[in-house]
Structure 1
Amino acid sequence: MRLKFLGGAREVTGSSFLLDFGYKILVDCGMRQKEEEKIFLKEEVDAVLLTHAHLDHSGLLPLLIKNNLLKGNVYSTPATKEVASLLLFDAAKIQREDEEKGKKALFDENDIVNLLKVWETYDLNKQFSLGNARVKFLDAGHIIGSSQILIEIEGIKILFTGDIGCGRSLLLNKPDVPKEHIDYLIIESTYGDREHPDKPPEEILYEEITSLGDYSRILIPAFAVGRAQEIIYGLKLKGLDIPVFLDSPLAEKVAETYDYFLPYLKPEIKNKWKKMGEMFSIPHLEYVRSNKRSKELAEDRKKKIVIAASGMLEGGRVMNHLPHILKDENAVLLFIGYQAEGTLGRKILEGERSVWIEDKEIEVKCSIKKIEGFSAHSDRRGLINFINNLPFYPSYIFIVHGEYETQKRFADELRIQKFYPYIPSKEEEIDLKGGAREKIIIDFEKKFQKYGMYEIMLFTGGILKDDNLIRVISKEDLFEIINEEEKRLKHKEKVEIPVDIEKEEIESITEEEFYRELKNMREEKILSKSKLQEFIENASPGIDNLFSWIRITKNKIRFYPDKEKNDMVAEILLRGINSLREIAVSIAEKVLEET
């Protein structure tokens, strides 16, 4: 079974992963920001599983149909299908308009119609089969309909989190935490190196807007799906007496879906507001339905709040307003969401004082503000809590959907907590060989007592570990083992450490070469700090003990998830110990201190 990272690897865009176990499943099929889009598959797939509707996860699905690369069906939650169809038809409309400017369209409305014919839906927590895999959608709490995808194949469980919510949404449920043992976790990392503020997002928004004083206009770029609805509801809770304009027909259509996809909403929300008209109704709110009205508002300098898509300033109605706002010293451009690398929003946020919009250079004179709190992505603390709340720790964690520097910092944090993270590169393909799941045997009669909802057994004894077997033994057996070991030690001053190494010639290595190889492997994150520390610690019983430890660690593929790189680490360590003996340990200590 192999997993190929087609997109969303070391980038916050274009998520797509190919799982091949004789039956090929594509998980997500997303567009990339500011890149010539092209289909990344060269072969057919049997099925597609979609985590949620955002175009960086769903945007190339029509192209998959157009190029006849899908044998079977697309699967998602009902809400994801509904919202994704709105987004895809809107994207096709924009592409049709762009064709008039000479840019070739990737797909058209007919491709979307054909896509919807092969699109099936399953509710959250309802299991279904694809080939010999069992699949289940779990609530991700990111946008309405969003899901994590749990796939089980011959006992191996793989979880794709997709974009996972922070649990602080005003409207949506918190992400589900799977009850199953997860062997392989593929987790997003958009905010993996930072934390959201503790203050409620509607409070942060209210304080920011009220602090702006005499500023005349506030433009809030927002995603049409999720963010726009959260902002409107946040303004509703605070009761601001300022005219508000939602300039996104798509955002209004998405808001209407909240009426009939209630399971995704918090219980207190769906019980309080029976219809979207009530949930998103605030004084002085106008839904801007025509482009003509949008342009009129853009030129109007009266005090108001305009919420418009797209959230990263890469097209949409927000572009009607942006030139007027940027040139106005009494206006505010207020960012409330993530701005991907290369986007116009990112450039402005990072301080560029002039930008090009439709072949015109525009000086940035307005005030630029950014607030945290409305993010639909979990932060560093939330991601780590999600992993720690799993009933069993994953055997391996693949970090995706994040900027590379962010991912490296997140991976370092996970290593500190003794996890095995890996940051795959685009197009990288990895063998999934099953988890390092340990078998537990209890060697005495089990007597459980009922305590509330739990059954508990108290015992005195020990836990015996041998390779992948854990044995829980009674105190009598524990004392017997200790007594036998004490007898053995009385008759033998030195414990012999078996050297489990094949009778093969090991290539020699110099001190300089060993130092250089260790340093390179540490800098390239192939040899983790914890594994180098273990190498040093396992030398204390005697140098010969290291041969056994290296071989066992190599066979378990514990140096590195990729087998080729795992074997490379083992080979370098074996060469060092064989050629340099105790000097190799001293060199390792030096490298550990330096890196």
Structure 2
Amino acid sequence: MQISFHGAAGTVTGSCHLVTVGNLKILVDCGMFQGGHELKEENVGDFGFDPASIDVLLLTHAHLDHCGRIPLLVNRGFRGDIICTAATRDLARLVILDSAHLHEEEARRRQRHSEKGHKHQPLYDTLDAVMSFDHFNRIADYGVPIRLGHDASAIFYEAGHILGSASILLSVTEDGRNRRILFSGDIGPSDRPFLSNAQPPGDADIIVMETTYGDRNHRSLEASVDELLEAISDTQARGGNVIIPTFALERAQELLFFMNEGIKRDILPQDLRVFLDSPMAISATKIFRNHPEAMTREIAEQIRSGQDPFSLPELEFTRETAESMQLNHIHSGAVIMAGSGMCTGGRVRQHLRHNLAHEECSVIFVGFAAEGTLARIIIDGAQSVKLFGDHIPVRARIHTINGFSAHAGKKELRAWHEKNRTPDITFLIHGEEDARKTFAKGLKSERIEFPTMHQSFEI
């Protein structure tokens, strides 16, 4: 029995883990590496295993760094089933299609600027994405065992991270020896407006655990909402625009909800112009409405009764590129939410190009920014950044509000781990090195490992 790590091992992205039990090969997640050039090269490289040998892929949730290389996996030979919750299936299809489109755009852009005769191919294209959807054949319900093979089963548990997210408990037997292996996936914070709290199963021999915020805690949600509304109000008073680099899944919907609450409380004006400039976030919001079963009872009841928790009086959806470009002519009074959250691509880069240099404007970061991303560079205090070949001075006010994170902080991560009995081994993954080492201190586990890329362990 063996476990090997082929992503998120020493980094925060690219989750991909392989469990081998006899002749059965179970992959957990197959995510995209995000960040600097070196990490992007990992995406085109070898997986570290033969995709054709994988029997089944268990998907914890629909974020790109957990599902983004699935089309590449299929393209290189994977023929098994992908198992996930219904909400994850719908969101993952959306995320993968959007990713394919961005890869195609990037390849075309590079082609325009390359020497004649040099061909640039996307990592995968729209057809690859669509072909991969044929493998989403089995749906998991929380708490219900799913048979994977003669001596293997899996149970999905609420992770509280994004809609449909799950921790996965594998039960595998080899030579009469049973091992219960718990993959945390990404764990969400407690008491969010839409999702139930994470529900660890409480009994695992081995835990494979994320440590994204293993070295720090978040501000309270209440304080973060207050800071968000104050930053928007202040920018309105200064006559500028607010740019919010937005993750399309969960974060966009939460921000709409909290801004709506701000309008109801008369903190924000009724005529506040809010633009959701993200086709993926617009579609994700529709998917949210279609899956009340994956939300808290209160929000589910609102949706079923015809109320819309994501509506605003002056909310505008900008799906088309031409509509997005028109926002560049708005110089004050707008709140523009656009992807991507780490500013690695998408429409937000164009909005940063037109607003970063203006003192009356604000940029509000409300999520994790991995090392090497444009978001992290701005957060870390860059005086100027390069966008579309131009050096843009950073004069806008920069706000970093980490209380909106869809990730649990150090205290909640530790509490989640402690709800399980003391495991034989805890593998700490999906975190930067300092976060992993800090989180390991005092952790109750017989053995703690810090896996590196493509490292294997006998379990």
Indicate whether the TM-score tops 0.5. Answer: yes
Match for residue 341 of structure 2 among 290, 311, 319: 311
Match for residue 415 of structure 2 among 374, 379, 385: 385
Secondary structure in 2 matching 1:384: helix
Partner of 1:267: 297
- Cα distance in 2 for partners of 1:71, 1:283 equals 47
Partner of 2:101: 93
RMSD over aligned Cα atoms: 1.6
Partner of 2:218: 196
Secondary structure in 2 matching 1:7: coil
Superposed CA offset, 1:1-38 (max 9, x none): 11101110110011100111121111111111131222
Residue pairs, 1:444-593, within 5 angstroms: none
Aligned residue type for 1:16:
C
Aligned residue type for 1:337:
G
Contact kept in structure 1, 2:167 and 2:183, CA below 8 Å: yes
How far has the Cα of 1:320 moved from its partner?
2.1
Match for residue 150 of structure 1 among 169, 173, 176: 169
Q: Is 1:397 the equivalent of 2:416?
A: no
Contact kept in structure 1, 2:355 and 2:396, CA below 8 Å: yes
Gaps of 5+ in 1: 433-595
How far has the Cα of 1:211 moved from its partner?
4.3
Residue pairs, 1:106-505, within 5 angstroms: 106-120=123-137, 121-131=139-149, 132-154=151-173, 155-179=178-202, 181-200=203-222, 201-212=224-235, 213-239=237-263, 240-241=268-269, 242-274=272-304, 278-390=308-420, 392-414=421-443, 420-432=447-459
How far has the Cα of 1:268 moved from its partner?
1.1
- Cα distance in 2 for partners of 1:196, 1:42 equals 37
How far has the Cα of 1:65 moved from its partner?
0.8
Partner of 2:114: none
Contact kept in structure 1, 2:252 and 2:337, CA below 8 Å: yes
Partner of 1:63: 72
Q: Which moved more, 1:258-267 or 1:187-196?
A: 258-267
- Cα distance in 1 for partners of 2:362, 2:64 equals 28
Match for residue 82 of structure 2 among 63, 74, 95: 74
How far has the Cα of 1:333 moved from its partner?
0.9
- Cα distance in 2 for partners of 1:260, 1:305 equals 26
- Cα distance in 2 for partners of 1:310, 1:401 equals 20
Superposed CA offset, 1:535-556 (max 9, x none): xxxxxxxxxxxxxxxxxxxxxx
How far has the Cα of 1:177 moved from its partner?
2.1
Q: Which runs of 4+ in 1 moved over 4 A?
A: none
Contact kept in structure 1, 2:171 and 2:180, CA below 8 Å: yes
Secondary structure in 2 matching 1:112: helix
Partner of 2:25: 24
How far has the Cα of 1:395 moved from its partner?
2.0
With over 3 angstroms needed to count, the CA separation of the structure-2 counterparts of 1:321 and 1:276, relative to structure 1, is: farther
- Cα distance in 1 for partners of 2:358, 2:324 equals 18
Secondary structure in 2 matching 1:368: strand
Contact kept in structure 2, 1:26 and 1:48, CA below 8 Å: yes
How far has the Cα of 1:42 moved from its partner?
3.6
Secondary structure in 1 matching 2:247: coil
- Cα distance in 1 for partners of 2:219, 2:312 equals 26
Contact kept in structure 2, 1:411 and 1:422, CA below 8 Å: no
Partner of 1:11: 11
Contact kept in structure 2, 1:215 and 1:332, CA below 8 Å: no
Q: Which moved more, 1:106-115 or 1:141-150?
A: 106-115
Contact kept in structure 2, 1:158 and 1:182, CA below 8 Å: yes
Superposed CA offset, 1:467-508 (max 9, x none): xxxxxxxxxxxxxxxxxxxxxxxxxxxxxxxxxxxxxxxxxx
- Cα distance in 1 for partners of 2:25, 2:355 equals 48
Aligned residue type for 2:60:
T
With over 3 angstroms needed to count, the CA separation of the structure-2 counterparts of 1:170 and 1:9, relative to structure 1, is: same
Secondary structure in 2 matching 1:116: helix
How far has the Cα of 1:408 moved from its partner?
0.8
- Cα distance in 1 for partners of 2:316, 2:305 equals 17
- Cα distance in 1 for partners of 2:58, 2:445 equals 31
Aligned residue type for 2:140:
Y
Contact kept in structure 2, 1:246 and 1:287, CA below 8 Å: yes
Aligned residue type for 1:55:
L
- Cα distance in 1 for partners of 2:293, 2:408 equals 21
Normalising by structure 2, report the TM-score.
0.90
Contact kept in structure 1, 2:275 and 2:317, CA below 8 Å: yes
- Cα distance in 2 for partners of 1:71, 1:329 equals 53
Secondary structure in 2 matching 1:148: strand
How far has the Cα of 1:256 moved from its partner?
0.7
Contact kept in structure 2, 1:255 and 1:276, CA below 8 Å: no
Normalising by structure 1, report the TM-score.
0.70
Aligned residue type for 1:134:
S
Secondary structure in 2 matching 1:397: strand
- Cα distance in 2 for partners of 1:329, 1:276 equals 41
- Cα distance in 2 for partners of 1:215, 1:367 equals 13
Superposed CA offset, 1:329-365 (max 9, x none): 1111111111101111111110111111121111112
- Cα distance in 1 for partners of 2:248, 2:316 equals 15
- Cα distance in 2 for partners of 1:371, 1:226 equals 16
How far has the Cα of 1:280 moved from its partner?
1.0
- Cα distance in 1 for partners of 2:243, 2:390 equals 20
Secondary structure in 1 matching 2:106: helix
Match for residue 48 of structure 1 among 51, 57, 62: 57
How far has the Cα of 1:150 moved from its partner?
0.7
Contact kept in structure 2, 1:10 and 1:424, CA below 8 Å: yes
Aligned residue type for 2:19:
L
Q: Is 1:2 the equivalent of 2:2?
A: yes
- Cα distance in 2 for partners of 1:211, 1:418 equals 48
Partner of 1:561: none
How far has the Cα of 1:71 moved from its partner?
3.7
- Cα distance in 2 for partners of 1:419, 1:262 equals 40
Aligned residue type for 1:248:
S
- Cα distance in 2 for partners of 1:350, 1:128 equals 45
Aligned residue type for 2:294:
Y
- Structure with higher Rg: it is 1
- Cα distance in 2 for partners of 1:172, 1:73 equals 27
Partner of 2:117: none
Superposed CA offset, 1:144-178 (max 9, x none): 11111110012311110111101232211111121
